[in-house]
């Protein structure tokens, strides 16, 4: 199963709106017969790719797959039917399929006499597919807030300088993180202060995410770097604004603005309806505070440098205020890694929706 998970995550950032899935076929003696993973919408599912590679050797084999084989007819046929047709004798999967109308593959296999084991390494598999699972279960994109800051929580010095608080390794890792998401989002303050490009650098390959800019008044400059042709950009404006005229390939989304602020709930709903399962929130401090206050933050990835700025330096979070400690948003620290002189922490605001269930054995 860990090998299947390793195969699955090689496609992170390329399969949306589908999940990442890996599959390993084993012969009766436990030797690997074939492997496969899902490469993206329109491509073969992991099980079908592995079966195609195995040919007649699939008969009597065990299929180890990270997600319950589907029972759904979409662009490709049901994986449960493909496994049955190939003569697979046993199926082991990690995570039940949460999509209504897609689940039922395990029961179809059992009904046909195939031995089925579910829930194996489920927690690890949930993490590997976290972005897609969160979006599927909540009906909105999984939102990750990424920031780089000093040890005392500053993203810039009092004079506005911020390049570079963190080191090269941390910045390169942040671009790898960006490449795994469907969209990268900033607010108008970051747009004006930094004129970010929001593309992929540091040698990171993959499809650049959709660039989303929240610009309530529609004042984005026509020469803003996010309006080049490196990737599409979605400019989000308020309903009271005149939609800006953008270069070809970019688009405008108009949202309600209750209280003079863009409706973030409407935003994540609109992004999900566009097929986006994950959003990386990169700026700024007030926007992150609004997402946190509205319960829309799922993960935080923090790059912390061994630097003290103090004084009137720009805070990484601005506007989210707990009146007392009991009102603070407590996060669960799940991962810590050293990147050069910096530390990367991955924290989660809540358990992954629909937590692991007891292992099922037929």
| Residues known to be catalytic | 47
Task: Determine phi and psi for 302, rounding to 5 degrees.
Answer: -110, 130
Six-digit token string for 243: 């939609």
Give me the DSSP letters along 243-294. Answer: PPP--TT-EEEEE--GGGS--HHHHHHHHHHTT--EEEEEE-HHHHHHHHHT
Q: How far from 288 is each of 1, 26, 33, 102, 297, CA to CA, in Å?
A: 36, 46, 47, 34, 8
How many CA atoms lie within 13 Å of 20's alpha carbon, on the beta-carbon side? Answer: 21
Answer yes or no: are the C-beta atoms of 35 and 3 closer than 8 Å. Answer: yes
| Backbone phi, psi, residue 262, to 5° | -60, 140
**Backbone angles phi and psi of 42, in degrees to 5:** 95, -15
Instruction: State the binding site for Zn(2+).
Output: 45, 70, 79
Which of the 8 DSSP states describes residue 210? E
Q: How far is it, in rounded angstroms, from Cα 229 to Cα 172?
A: 22
CA distances from 280 to 80, 136, 210, 301 (A): 34, 17, 10, 10
Q: Are 235 and 252 in contact (CB under 8 A)?
A: yes
With H, G, I as helix, E, B as strand and everything else as coil, classify residue 344: strand
Where does residue 152 fall: left (phi above 0), alpha (psi -120 to 50 degrees), or beta otherwise?
Answer: alpha
- Cis, peptide link before residue 126, omega less than 30° from 0: no
Say if residues 3 and 31 touch (Cβ distance below 8 Å): no
The H-or-E segment that residue 315 falls in is strand 314-315
**Which residues contribute to the annotated binding site for NADP(+)?**
148, 164, 190, 194
């Amino acid at each position: 199963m860990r090998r299947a998970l390793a195969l699955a995550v090689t496609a992170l950032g390329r399969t949306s709106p589908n999940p990442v899935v890996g599959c390993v076929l084993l012969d009766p003696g436990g030797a690997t017969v074939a492997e496969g993973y899902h490469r993206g919408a329109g491509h073969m599912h992991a099980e079908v790719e592995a079966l195609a590679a195995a040919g007649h050797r699939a008969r009597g084999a065990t299929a180890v797959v990270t997600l319950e084989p589907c029972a759904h007819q979409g662009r490709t046929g049901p994986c449960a039917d493909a496994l049955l047709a190939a003569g697979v004798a046993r199926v082991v999967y990690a995570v039940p399929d949460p999509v209504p109308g897609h689940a039922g593959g395990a029961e179809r296999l059992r009904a046909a006499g195939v031995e089925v084991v579910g829930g194996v390494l489920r927690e690890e598999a949930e993490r590997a597919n976290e972005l897609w699972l969160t979006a599927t279960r909540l009906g909105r994109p999984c939102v990750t807030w990424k920031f780089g800051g000093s040890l005392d929580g500053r993203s810039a010095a009092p004079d506005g300088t911020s390049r570079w608080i963190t080191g090269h390794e941390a910045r390169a890792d942040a671009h790898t993180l960006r490449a795994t998401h469907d969209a990268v989002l900033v607010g108008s303050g970051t747009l004006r202060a930094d004129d970010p490009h929001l593309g992929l650098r540091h040698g990171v390959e993959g499809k650049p995410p959709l660039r989303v800019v929240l610009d309530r008044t529609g004042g984005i400059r026509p020469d803003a770097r996010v309006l080049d042709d490196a990737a599409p950009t979605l400019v989000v404006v308020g309903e009271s604004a005149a939609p800006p005229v953008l270069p070809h390939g970019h688009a405008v989304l108009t949202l309600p603005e209750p209280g003079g602020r863009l409706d973030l709930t409407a935003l994540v709903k609109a992004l999900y309806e566009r097929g986006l399962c994950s959003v990386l929130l990169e700026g700024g401090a007030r926007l992150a505070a609004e997402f946190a206050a509205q319960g829309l933050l799922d993960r935080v990835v923090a790059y912390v440098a061994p630097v003290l700025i103090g004084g009137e330096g720009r805070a990484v979070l601005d506007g989210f205020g707990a009146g007392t400690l009991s009102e603070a948003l407590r996060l669960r620290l799940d991962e810590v890694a050293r990147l050069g002189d910096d530390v990367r922490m991955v924290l989660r605001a809540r358990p992954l929706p629909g937590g692991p269930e007891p292992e099922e054995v037929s």
